[in-house]
Chain A
Amino acid sequence: MPKISVTIDDKKLDVDVGKTILEVCKENGIEILTMCHLKGLTDVGACRLCLVEIEGVNKLLSACTTKIAANMIIRTKTEKIKRYQRITSELFFAERNHVCSVCVANGKCDLQKLGYKTEMNHIRYPYLFPECNVDTSHPWYVLDHNRCIMCTRCVRACGEVEGAHNWNVMNRGYQVRIISDFDTPWGESVTCTSCGKCVHACPTGAIWPKAIVQGQLEKKPEIIGELVEKRKMNL
């Protein structure tokens, strides 16, 4: 495969063409914060945590959706980017009702980890405290909108990998919500196969299996990517 030269965080690298900036960074041990990205799913560039600075480009681009090109000079950890990541993290926490101490994902939550990584020690914006439902109608799983960050990983896992298209998004702006079918209780879904991919894809405690208690959640988000890889090999 042809190689191209790029510079990431002052490090000169020879990398394969056709990859995204995020893929290249991961392969070279350069950490990029992500939330909506999950290997195996189409990248949508929605969480804006993976924004990087590229010399000669007048705006910040999301590493997950931007293909790397020859001679790119990329910076991933400037003061500006760190500051913006922290604001994003704060806005996530202020948007819905995240109470770690009672959450099944406590200690294993990607959002919680993000808070630590961005050195967020308090939230400077007023909490919105929206009214959110908890859908417990499914026999095995729970959807708690209080903990949802709208990364849409469940939507994409269900549509792209399982092919069931149970999940979708309704409303606009800060009122967006994940819905099952046409906004009916999950337990009444005619499309859900109860495969559990969304449970593993979810980065927080928004979708979780019943009969576990605080901090007991075990998720394996990597199975989505592994499944996709195995299918490719079978083909």
Chain B
Amino acid sequence: MNRQDLQTIIYAEKAKEQNNKYKHKLCVCCGAGCISSGSEEVLKKLQEEVVTRGLESEVEVIATGCMGPCNQGPLIKFLPEYTIYQKVDCSNIKDIIQRQLIEKKPIEDLLLFADSRPKPFIDAQEDPYYKKQMKIALKNCGHINPERIEDYLVHDGYQALDKVLFQMSPEEVIAEIKQSRMRGRGGAGYPTGLKWESVYKYVSPQKYVICNGDEGDPGAFMDRSVLEGNPHRVLEGMSIAAYAVGATKGFAYIRGEYPLAIKRFELAIKQAKKLGVLGNNILGTEFSFDVEVRIGAGAFVCGEETALIASIEGKRGTPRPRPPFPAESGLWGKPTLINNVETFAGISPIINNGGEWYSDIGTPKSAGTKVFALAGKINYSGLIEVPMGTTLREIVFDIGGGIQGGGEFKAAQTGGPSGGCIPAEHLDVKMDYESLTSLGSIMGSGGLIVMDQSSDMVDVARYFMEFCMDESCGKCVPCRVGTKMMHDLLQKICEEKGTRIDLERLEELAVYVRECSLCGLGSSAPNPLLSTLRHFRHEYENRILE
């Protein structure tokens, strides 16, 4: 298929959308969260109900990706009104259809956040939950059917790929990404444009692009939702990256615990190939790029780029020292670009709207938006996307609806087992890479666990240390033995058997493991311990035997 053929399809799809015979679009969230609370049954019942009432010519019922407030699921959304109903079950479907579509009087008690807002919003976009958000990576999640490439095409899908192939040189693409000041969303925040440029500069007949979807932080599910909700966006980002750095082959490494994401991404690859936006001679040009899915087998360490590469090569998933970085010697020794799912999801908007547009969002050092997965003792847990620099207070209280049961905010844990805890006195911290690092935490991939007074911070540190101890690959001594020793010492302190000497040893080991470990897993494993020691030292002191 060439460029004209694709445009013809897009025009036809857009015309269909514009001359839409349907007056309403009814979106049913079929992300993994809502599915587990029964949304597939709801979808089936809704389709039946629409047919029974003879509304099938007016109402289009579609399954979409994640809409955000996961713990309120199953969620359904009526467009164009943007009315969202929460906790829908099969028993109230008849009423909802009757009141919403026939009587045009929404059932207020069933609207989104009806149980916690004094008056719920009929147009959910008016709700502070959505008002404070800005969706770039998640833009079409929850609006389109992720299993139909045509839905994506209508929403500017593959327009960015078309643009780079016909109007831009690889150098111009890299310049655009550099201008956007985008930083890698996987955790470390390395400037994406610089990474692309360094892969581009290495001369090699074979280069690779890898999408890191081995999201493993406890409580984090950003990548899963992007892959489930809009897989074509990630695929398009990978293709643009491949064109820019000169790669012809890509791998998407997705963890095995995400069967739905794997299924939808594989379907997306199939559809894209059929349409000629992936595979040989994309859109009739010289550029060819193919993507394969590789499924992770459940090792946290395989999210580390060199371990991930070893895993794709079929070896034991252990990291190796860098340098050389994958940009120089990656998959099978070839220059390799490896970016996170969310990074790739942010590429096509930058190409479509320009790097300057993106760099104007966020803070001077951290541009753009960030997806966070809210979890823990927060009223509205789920997936949000906010501009960089939004304060923690806004996220927890305005968007997240505050603490469950009217409790008191104690700390927020960011960055999972590699991150740290932010105490209440720093609630006004701006969420960007530098501010979080200065507090002893990290941005990480976007997991945000909110804790109230019932959380014991020594136990939190012990839990994350146990996680790192279990997930250490065992290759280097500081991580293999150091995490075990630190865990045992923390256990001892939790049981109120620790002494002041134990605490001293713990601190010494933490610095040693941070500085001596081979990879990021080990060097960041002491972070939860060090940050709780910094902000909640008294909780440790209170447990010490004198």
Q: What are the residues of chain A within 8 A of B484 when measuring CB–CB?
A: 128, 173-174
When each residue 85-123 of chain A gets 1 if its CB lies under 8 Å from chain B and 0 otherwise, what string results?
001100110110000000000000000000000000000
Number of A-B contacts (CB under 8 A): 95
CB-CB nearest in chain A for B299: A172
Contact check, B474 vs A175: say whether CB atoms are below 8 A apart. Answer: yes
Q: How far is the CA of A47 from the CA of B481 in the complex (A)?
A: 11
Nearest-CB residue, chain A, relative to B300? A172
8 Å CB contact of B485 from A44, A45, A67, A94:
A94
Are A48 and B323 interface neighbours, CB within 8 A? no
Q: Are B483 and A173 neighbours in the complex by a CB distance under 8 Å?
A: yes
B321 at the interface (CB under 8 A from A): yes
Choose among B316, B469, B475, B505 the residue that contacts A46 (Cβ–Cβ < 8 A). Answer: B475
Please give, as numbers and ranges, the residues of chain A lying within 8 Å of B320 by CB-CB distance: 44-45, 65
Contact partner, A48, options B474, B505, B517, Cβ 8 Å: B517
Contact with B along A7-44 (1 / 0, CB 8 A): 00000000000000000000000000000000000001
Task: Return B303 CB to nearest CB of chain A, in Å.
Answer: 14
Q: B476 within 8 Å of A by Cβ?
A: yes
Contact partners of A67 in chain B: CB under 8 A: 323
The answer to whether B471 has its CB under 8 Å from any CB of chain A is yes
B89 at the interface (CB under 8 A from A): no
B515 within 8 A of A: yes
**Cβ A84 vs Cβ B512 within 8 A:** yes
Q: Are B516 and A172 in contact (CB under 8 A)?
A: no
Q: Quick check: A45 and B518 within 8 Å, CB to CB?
A: yes
The CB with the most chain A CB atoms within 10 A, among B480, B488, B517, is that of B480
A173 touching B518 by the CB < 8 A rule?
Answer: no
Say yes or no: is B478 at the interface (Cβ < 8 Å to chain A).
Answer: yes
Q: Does B481 lie within 8 Å of A95, measured CB to CB?
A: yes
A172–B482 contact, CB under 8 A? no
Q: Tell me, in angstroms, the Cα distance from A95 to B480 when the chains sit together.
A: 9
Complexed CA–CA distance, A167 and B509 (Å)? 31
CA distance A146 to B191 in the complex (A): 46
Per-residue contact bits, chain B 162-196, to A (CB 8 Å; 1 contact, 0 not): 00000000000000000000000000000000000
Q: Does A66 contact B (CB under 8 A)?
A: yes
CB of A169 within 8 A of CB of B474, answer yes
Measured between beta carbons, the chain B residues less than 8 angstroms from A204 are: none
Whether B515 and A84, one on each chain, are in contact in the complex, defined by CB atoms closer than 8 angstroms, is yes
Q: Which residues in A have their C-beta under 8 angstroms from that of B482?
A: 91
Which positions 313-369 of chain B face chain A at CB distance < 8 Å?
316, 320-321, 323
How many residues on B have C-beta within 8 angstroms of the other chain's C-beta atoms?
32
| Nearest CB in chain B to that of A92: its residue | B477
Which residues in B have their C-beta under 8 angstroms from that of A152?
475
Which A residues are in CB contact (< 8 Å) with B508?
87
Q: Is A70 an interface residue (CB 8 A)?
A: no
Residues B478 and A91 in contact, CB atoms below 8 Å apart = yes
Interface residues of B in 479-515 (CB under 8 A from A): 480-485, 488, 505, 508-509, 512, 515
Identify which of A47, A168, A173 contacts B473 (C-beta below 8 A). A173
A202 at the interface (CB under 8 A from B): no
Interface contact B509-A150, CB-CB below 8 Å = no
Residue from B480, B505, B509, B516 within 8 A of A173 (CB atoms): B480
Instruction: Assess the B471–A172 pair: CB atoms within 8 A.
Output: yes
Q: How far is the CA of A84 from the CA of B523 in the complex (A)?
A: 14
User: Quick one: given A44-B475, A91-B477, A172-B472, are A59 and B321 in contact (CB under 8 Å)?
Assistant: no
Find out whether the CB atom of A66 lies under 8 angstroms from the CB atom of B483. Answer: no
Q: Inside 8 A of B316's CB, which chain A residues have their CB?
A: 168-169
> Contact flags (1/0) for B210-237 with A, using CB distance below 8 Å?
0000000000000000000000000000
CB < 8 Å neighbour of B476 from A47, A94, A124, A168: A47
| Cβ of B202 to closest chain A Cβ, rounded Å | 16
Q: Which of B481, B484, B523 lies at the interface centre, i.e. has the most chain A CB atoms within 10 A of its CB?
A: B481
Bound form: Cα–Cα A171–B477 in Å: 15
Say if the beta carbon of B470 comes within 8 Å of chain A.
yes
Chain B residues within an 8 Å CB radius of A47 = 476-477
Tell me the complex Cα distance, A61–B485, Å. 23
Contact A88 B516 (CB under 8 A): yes
Query: Do A126 and B488 touch (CB < 8 A)?
Result: yes
Across the interface, do B477 and A46 meet the contact criterion of CB distance under 8 Å? yes
| Residues A48 and B485 in contact, CB atoms below 8 Å apart | no
Given A59-B515, A88-B516, A173-B480, are A66 and B474 also a contact pair (CB < 8 Å)?
A: no
Are the C-beta atoms of B471 and A91 separated by less than 8 Å?
A: no
Q: Is A62 an interface residue (CB 8 A)?
A: yes
Q: Which residues of A contact B488 (CB under 8 A)?
A: 126
Minimum distance in angstroms from A120 CB to a CB of chain B: 14
> In the bound complex, do residue B485 and residue A88 qualify as a contact, i.e. CB atoms below 8 Å apart?
no
- Given the complex, which residues of B lie within 8 Å of A44, measured CB to CB? 320-321, 475
A154 interface residue, CB < 8 Å from B?
Answer: no
Whether A176 is near chain B, meaning CB under 8 Å from some CB there, is yes
Q: When the two chains form their complex, are residues B321 and A61 in contact, meaning their CB atoms are under 8 A apart?
A: yes
Whether B474 pairs with A150 at a CB distance below 8 angstroms is: yes
How far in angstroms is the closest Cβ of chain B from A62? 5
| Contact (Cβ within 8 A) B321 A60 | no
A125 CB–B CB distance under 8 Å: yes
- Give the complex CA separation of A66 and B321 in angstroms: 8
Contacts of A88 in B (CB 8 A): 477-478, 516
**Can you report 29 A-B residue pairs in the complex whose CB atoms are below 8 A from each other?**
A45-B476, A45-B518, A46-B476, A47-B476, A48-B476, A48-B517, A51-B516, A59-B515, A59-B523, A61-B321, A62-B321, A65-B320, A65-B321, A66-B321, A91-B477, A91-B481, A92-B477, A92-B481, A126-B485, A126-B488, A128-B481, A128-B484, A152-B475, A172-B301, A172-B470, A174-B480, A174-B481, A175-B474, A176-B474
10 closest cross-chain pairs (CB), A and B: A176-B474, A45-B321, A91-B481, A173-B472, A65-B321, A174-B484, A48-B516, A95-B481, A46-B475, A46-B476
A residues whose Cβ falls under 8 Å from a Cβ of B: 44-48, 51, 59-62, 65-67, 84, 87-88, 91-92, 94-95, 124-126, 128, 150, 152, 168-169, 171-176
| 4 additional A-B residue pairs with CB within 8 Å, beyond A168-B316, A171-B474 | A87-B512, A94-B485, A173-B483, A176-B480
Q: Which residue numbers of B lie inside 8 Å of A, CB to CB?
A: 299, 301, 316, 320-321, 323, 469-478, 480-485, 488, 505, 508-509, 512, 515-518, 523
